[in-house]
Structure 1
Amino acid sequence: MVCYTMMERVLAQHAQEHPDAMAVLDGHQALTYGQLLARATCLADRLQLKEKVEAEEPVGILLSPGLSQVVAQVAVRLVGATCVPLEPKQPPKRICELLRDVAVRRVIVEDLCTERYEGFDLHPMEHLEPALFRHDNHLITQKDCPQKEDGRSHILFTSGSTGKPKPVQIQTSSILHLAMENNMTPLSHTDRVTAFNNPGFDLSLFEIWATLIARATIVVLPKGVATDASRLLAFLTETRASVMIIPTALFNVIASTAPNAFRALRHVITAGEAANPRALRSVLEKEPPENLWNGYGPTEGTTLTTLYRVTLPDCLEDRISIGQPIGKAIVYLLDDNLEPIEESGIHGEICIGGPGKSAGYLHRRRENEERFVQILNPHRYTKGTGITDSTTDSGSSIVELYRTGDIGQWRRDKPGFLDYIGRRDTQVKHQGFLVELEEISRIMESSPLVESCVVIQRPPLSVLHSSILIAYIIPSGGNKQGQHAILRFAQATLPSYMIPERFELVTTFPLTANGKVDRQALLDSYAQGPRKGEAGRKQRVVNDTSTSPNDTDTRSVLAKIWEELLQVSHPTPEQDSFLLGASSIQAAALIALIQHRLERLITMDELHAHARFSSMCDLLDTGQAPGEDRYKNAPDHTSIWANDVDIVDDIPLAPDWESAAEGRAFLTGATGFVGAHILRRLIERSGVKQVACLARARDGQSAAARVRKAMEKYDLFPEPLELSQKILVLEGDIGDEKLGLGPTQFNWLVDWASVIFHVAAKVNFCESYQEHHRANVIGTRNVLNAAALGRRKAFHYMSSIDVFGPSGMILGTRSIPEDSPLINHLPALRYDLGYGQSQWTAEAMVRRMQGKGLPIAIYRPGFIIGDSVTGASNPDDFITRWIVGCMEMGSFPRIVDMRFEYCTIDFVCSSVLQIASENKNLGQAYHILSPDRTKSLTVEDTITLLHEVGYPVRMIDYSDWVKQAVKSGTSEGALAPLMPVLQERVLGELTRWECAQFSPVYECTNTVRALAGCPEAQYKPFTIDVLRRSMAFWKRKGFYDV
């Protein structure tokens, strides 16, 4: 007795409960579910008239897409056998070889054709008696239907790249997974699904079985209508079709001529080849279907392994994602050692597993061992990375996978989503480089000149020839410029070794029976061209104007040379030798043959300058005596060489981070005084869409709460929702290599950010270098790492003039240019604070990465004070505590020739963002302070300022001032945190602070140049008004009452 799987039981249930529901529509013919099961049962009975069909026995089905195909497949499943559908229009000899390869005995055919298929037990559909189709007598009842968990359902042949077709075994559980557990299924019983694909092609499994299992309706789409864009829309509308799975190559053709053809559909799935963004965009822009999907999956994965719902913004990219695994599918990206790849942007082989994976190739032990592998499944790989295995619980589990031979990579902008790169078997060696042919096609299709592109490699024809790349191109409708414009695009976008040697403009591509581009047919047609003349190469864009019999000897000889080397018979005047694929070897051979046969000596420069046939003939006809030395001196092209250096000037070092396509800033230090102000300025800029702020959760406060609290502390938090919505807080840790974000979020961030502003720094006046090391040194290293990984982006680094240490006092330095080498100032660092020492190391790392090519700008402000307008200032920084402490004590210490280099926070922020707004400013350092030294206040100037606001402080010797501070009991005052460093002696009797005497001049040539013509970013001096506003701010906020 046959043991039925869930697949047959579901059909039986449909026929019992909904016998009149429509199952198949095929033109004027139709079958309800009751009629379908009755007719299939009748055919099943006929299959077993002579002898019983063995379980999972392969049964051939030689029928076109249509009603009979559906009946035949259901009948084969009812007897517990395996469907082996084949395209009946193939040569009979090939069909017989395939059938014998899998030991088929019984074959279902349309009509009796014994002479073509001798040796097989044929069962013609035409012999089924309609009178027998009384479905009420043939229903499978529950008691007749023992349960079977799984079994082989289909064998489909796939050719791959090895030549002999391989029989892929498909399980019933795989079809059930396809029909019930992908993003679109189960389908609705009201859906109508088109069926037109070759039954031997795996897309037909979805058309037939996903439809039947859902109790939906199969609508047979005539092949002539499916490939005729002008008729397709009307058919889909009239039949009320709602779901269509279509080969990518056919979809591209329809999209280019009738992009609105799919408008009435609920789901359109393209599959079979890499998606074309332009074709998808055409459909989405003009009355699109409700859902447009890009599907991926080899036959060995049962039609679909991953799916991606395509939106219009996706089509602006040069590659469409193939999405994430469907249902319980497993997708791994493995390297050459079969180790999983987690990182985004790294190429690996796509390997698949789970319910959709084939049981293997029938009778192909060697291929099974090569393609179906087992690997240890590390427990850490989870669905979050797109790597899933719901069946394993331990890190040492074995996972069975199929090696697809497809190359993919995890996307950076969408963690867990996969990109298809190309086939291993379309990787070829060309000019010494490993070249991915599908990558060339993808780049060419990004041109508005190109609708579709297929690239093949023609092997060398002789020792005078090398292999060449041939690009077959369907030009876009708006391309009026032809071959030369396409060549210019290729030269501008592709590396030289990836530029096809020949471009063939065609109107269509030949397709295989499964709807895929037939690359072999393209290669065969090209190979026949030179031997059969231009008339045999109808797809080539070559004028059919041959040379005249009365041409000169020069033209005839040159034409013969071209035919030998370039395989072009009867070259036209405008044909270009290099456009026709002349390699450097052939160019040398061309010069040699011209010299040998025409006794003319031409140079390689002349060959390139006269590459067209007519131009070369003209050059040779000008005459030259044999052996004449045309060049007494080498030509002087020095001006050309020198001027050509300028062509690099328009290469962007980093994206314009405020452009319409960008606007995403990554900011560190948002919980600090400077970082909070930079954040507020960033979100106010119209070109900024979002600012991601890295912050830690601390003291029971979340990272987001700490960022908000810092902004509120300085009255910076925005009330308008459109501004606050721009703030995205990432809870992390700058001391962690992945910034405390984990691999997935870190990989997203480095590809998401348009620009990085690294403002975070620990500042503690009493702690050593070691205490600052993790935050300032390791932290900067980690943010630099984020800048270097992922997409290219600028790195704007907030440093400090403290990196130079007390150079004036210790080294006698009088002036420091902005790009001065840091190493010169290293000896002075030992006398500075741990903060300054850590900043020296951090900036040295930044400069090293700058030297390695990272686009970087460095900003070194002086002592940052409050906002010149609002007075908002940091109550905890050194300079505020110093000034308030002196006010409280009534005295100020004497320090010889010391300038504080005060700069207001609004000046710092406006200067940094103005400089950062133009990428031409990258690659330099900027001193953010007064460009006019007379406005840089000394100790004496500061005392005068305090006098003017009502604090008549007096200047006393430093040692006396320290004694007064200690005596006055400052443990609770503003100076309390500073006292250890103010008293610590580091150079004889001198303290660290006294070593800051004899301040050098901090040159700011770069800053003045970058801010020229920007009045909003001009220096604002520390005046009595600024100090009064700061004092009012301190009092209002309860910081200090002075």
Structure 2
Amino acid sequence: MRTVSAAFRRQAAATPDAIALADAGRTLSYAELDARSEALAHLLETEGVRPGDRVAVCFERSVELVVALLAVLKAGAAYLPLSLTEAPARLAAMLTDAGVELAVCDRAGARLLAGQHARTLTELPEPGAGRATAEPGPEQVACLMYTSGSTGRPKGVMVPHRAVVNLVTAPNYVELGPSDRLFQLAPVAFDAATLEIWGALLNGARVEIPPPGPVGPGELAVLLRERGITVLWLTAALFHRQIDADPASLAGLRTVLAGGDVLSTEHVRRLLAAAPGLEVVNGYGPTEATTFSLCHRIAPGEDFTTSVPIGRPLQNVLVELRGPAGPAEEGELWVAGAGVSLGYWQRPELTAERFVPDAEGRIWYRTGDLARRRPDGVVEFLGRLDGQFKLHGQRVESGEIENVLAEHPEVRQAAVAVRTNHLGDPRLVAWLTLAAGELHRRELRSFLRERLPDHMVPALFATVEELPVTANGKVDRRALPDPDWKSKALYL
């Protein structure tokens, strides 16, 4: 299987004059992107970068960001993508953990990295200033993606070239080709950017880059139309937000992919009603298995009962559901195949715990997610094994409750968690944004009791203007405000 850099060179040779990158004011052809990234890769080698090194990349969304990512790969190194909103302490921890000596960045990135031990390179060379000599292999690390750890210490996932190439080569979950334009909306430190960038560039398509900073629903609608976007990825939170604001704004796309959290069945129905003919794909996958492991292409007229399925495995990917006695129809979701990463950087004990070899030499990643397989083979997500919580001895699945809440006409979005009240007792709390008007809590409680067991009906409902969202576009449950436990109105 080819490397990312080799696959890009092949595409650039095949379509040198096609547009590879575009932002508000510039475009780069495949030949120009190839030349610029070769020059920077050569410079990285003269700066001491060697195959296997880790190079930090920190830019605002821009053409230069993609040039830098590709150049690091051509130099045989792995890129460590950094968010400009990264907390200083976490940033320092990642740079130290990864052993980063050099960072390629713009002025905003240089300000963020000021005071860190890594050298910064902010001037990108002109094309023609040399070519890279490194030849990375398919099993070599392409990027080091840091995710949150249960202990609070970030852990770096070693994503190899072959996993990225497999994600976007002849994908069975979406069509990608030279006529497509993919929107590069995700933060580069979030693994959805892997799909947005390499899904376009390894298939002859165009990466369309929005202006730096947050993109609101109105601006997104304009950009999708003006840039002629055909394929869009949104986190579940942003997917729901866009449908709440203007579902017809997505009608001009051919395909919208969403995931990263449980999709609301009601939002999917509303989108399909507003945009008939639009292909909607629910994507599931941990960073450890390279963006997507399973996807569900929603069929026209498909009926949902309690959830949107996560579907079937990607090409060259295997999944199993394992219970206490081995493979089962419901159990922990394990993933193997071309998409599985190489484990955690310098965390052998954690790697051994989560990445398990079998007798045939395959490595299975234990996702920690609970799923079930329908009789037709389609997989449904049930919740986190380690994130599930028990309340009064009963297991509670937040995703199922949130899905039912979102079906109520007064509710726009919902998030559920257990919080300890002022008396020290755990209580199930629902935070809601409203579609319009006032929340009628008694009626909502009756609505839930018709659809959920009693132990899954929240004890109280708190309304908020918006659900807090992380930098990666997911609902930030930790940032949900503590309710006023003494307010009787919340319990009615």
Question: Which of the five TM-score ranges fits, normalised by the shorter chain?
Answer: over 0.9
Correspondence 1:296 to 2:293: no
* 1:67 positional shift: 1.3
SS in 2 for 1:454: strand
C-alpha distance after superposition, 1:657-708 (max 9, x if no partner): xxxxxxxxxxxxxxxxxxxxxxxxxxxxxxxxxxxxxxxxxxxxxxxxxxxx
Correspondence 1:340 to 2:338: no
- CA distance in 2 between counterparts of 1:475 and 1:72 reads 43
C-alpha distance after superposition, 1:190-220 (max 9, x if no partner): 1110001011111000011111111111001
- CA distance in 2 between counterparts of 1:419 and 1:172 reads 29
Which of 473, 480, 488 pairs up with 1:515?
473
Which of 285, 290, 296 pairs up with 1:308?
296
* Paired residue type of 1:473: L
Which of 495, 499, 507 pairs up with 2:457?
499
Correspondence 1:410 to 2:373: yes
Asked if structure 1 preserves the Cα contact closer than 8 Å seen for 2:2 and 2:165, the reply is no
* 1:33 positional shift: 1.2
Correspondence 1:208 to 2:179: no
SS in 2 for 1:207: helix
- CA distance in 2 between counterparts of 1:298 and 1:114 reads 28
Which of 417, 422, 429 pairs up with 1:470?
429
Normalising by structure 1, what TM-score? 0.45
Aligned twin of 2:4: 7
Taking the TM superposition and a 5 Å limit, the aligned residue runs for 1:609-1008 are none
- CA distance in 2 between counterparts of 1:157 and 1:403 reads 18
* Count of matched residue pairs: 490
Aligned twin of 2:168: 179
* Paired residue type of 1:133: P
Correspondence 1:274 to 2:262: yes
Asked if structure 1 preserves the Cα contact closer than 8 Å seen for 2:265 and 2:403, the reply is no
Aligned twin of 1:756: none
Asked if structure 1 preserves the Cα contact closer than 8 Å seen for 2:42 and 2:131, the reply is no
* 1:425 positional shift: 2.8
Correspondence 1:489 to 2:483: no
Aligned twin of 1:912: none
Asked if structure 1 preserves the Cα contact closer than 8 Å seen for 2:76 and 2:136, the reply is no
* Paired residue type of 1:507: E
Distance 1:434 1:139, change over 3 A: same
Distance 1:504 1:434, change over 3 A: same
Aligned twin of 1:813: none
Distance 1:186 1:175, change over 3 A: farther
- CA distance in 2 between counterparts of 1:370 and 1:499 reads 35
* Paired residue type of 2:382: I
- CA distance in 2 between counterparts of 1:315 and 1:35 reads 47
Aligned twin of 1:39: 36
SS in 1 for 2:247: coil
Aligned twin of 2:19: 22
Distance 1:254 1:300, change over 3 A: same
SS in 1 for 2:69: helix
- CA distance in 2 between counterparts of 1:320 and 1:20 reads 41
Aligned twin of 1:256: 244
Distance 1:151 1:518, change over 3 A: same
* 1:149 positional shift: 4.0
* 1:349 positional shift: 0.7
Asked if structure 1 preserves the Cα contact closer than 8 Å seen for 2:41 and 2:131, the reply is no
Aligned twin of 1:358: 341
Correspondence 1:84 to 2:80: yes
Taking the TM superposition and a 5 Å limit, the aligned residue runs for 1:397-476 are 397-412=360-375, 415-459=376-420, 461=422, 464-476=423-435
Which of 368, 380, 401 pairs up with 2:351?
368
- CA distance in 2 between counterparts of 1:348 and 1:297 reads 16
Normalising by structure 2, what TM-score? 0.93
SS in 1 for 2:302: helix
Aligned twin of 1:287: 275
* Paired residue type of 1:45: H
SS in 1 for 2:197: helix
Which of 96, 118, 121 pairs up with 2:119?
121
Correspondence 1:58 to 2:54: yes
- CA distance in 1 between counterparts of 2:13 and 2:361 reads 42
- CA distance in 1 between counterparts of 2:462 and 2:150 reads 24
Asked if structure 2 preserves the Cα contact closer than 8 Å seen for 1:195 and 1:208, the reply is yes
- CA distance in 2 between counterparts of 1:486 and 1:313 reads 28
* Paired residue type of 2:352: E
Taking the TM superposition and a 5 Å limit, the aligned residue runs for 1:377-392 are none
* CA RMSD between the two structures: 2.3
- CA distance in 1 between counterparts of 2:191 and 2:464 reads 28
- CA distance in 1 between counterparts of 2:91 and 2:327 reads 40
Correspondence 1:194 to 2:183: yes
- CA distance in 2 between counterparts of 1:146 and 1:216 reads 25
* Paired residue type of 1:96: A
Aligned twin of 2:217: 229
Distance 1:254 1:263, change over 3 A: same
* Paired residue type of 2:114: R
- CA distance in 2 between counterparts of 1:322 and 1:181 reads 19
* 1:235 positional shift: 1.4
- CA distance in 2 between counterparts of 1:485 and 1:363 reads 53
* 1:30 positional shift: 1.6
C-alpha distance after superposition, 1:170-196 (max 9, x if no partner): 011001110113224561111110001
- CA distance in 2 between counterparts of 1:335 and 1:329 reads 20
SS in 1 for 2:239: helix
- CA distance in 2 between counterparts of 1:430 and 1:318 reads 21
* Paired residue type of 2:412: E
- CA distance in 2 between counterparts of 1:139 and 1:369 reads 39
- CA distance in 1 between counterparts of 2:55 and 2:274 reads 45
Distance 1:115 1:218, change over 3 A: closer
Aligned twin of 1:165: 154
SS in 1 for 2:73: helix
* Paired residue type of 1:35: E
Higher relative contact order (CA 8 A, sep 6+): 2
Which of 102, 109, 112 pairs up with 2:105?
109
* Paired residue type of 1:516: K
Structure 2: tracts of 5 or more residues without a match: none
SS in 1 for 2:249: coil
Aligned twin of 2:313: 325
* 1:473 positional shift: 1.5
Asked if structure 1 preserves the Cα contact closer than 8 Å seen for 2:173 and 2:295, the reply is no
Look at both structures and tell me which one has the larger radius of gyration over its CA atoms.
1
* 1:14 positional shift: 3.2
* Paired residue type of 2:116: E
- CA distance in 1 between counterparts of 2:26 and 2:303 reads 40
* Paired residue type of 2:257: I
Structure 1: tracts of 5 or more residues without a match: 377-396, 531-566, 581-611, 613-1042
- CA distance in 2 between counterparts of 1:255 and 1:314 reads 19
* Paired residue type of 2:312: Q
Distance 1:14 1:481, change over 3 A: closer
* Paired residue type of 1:469: L
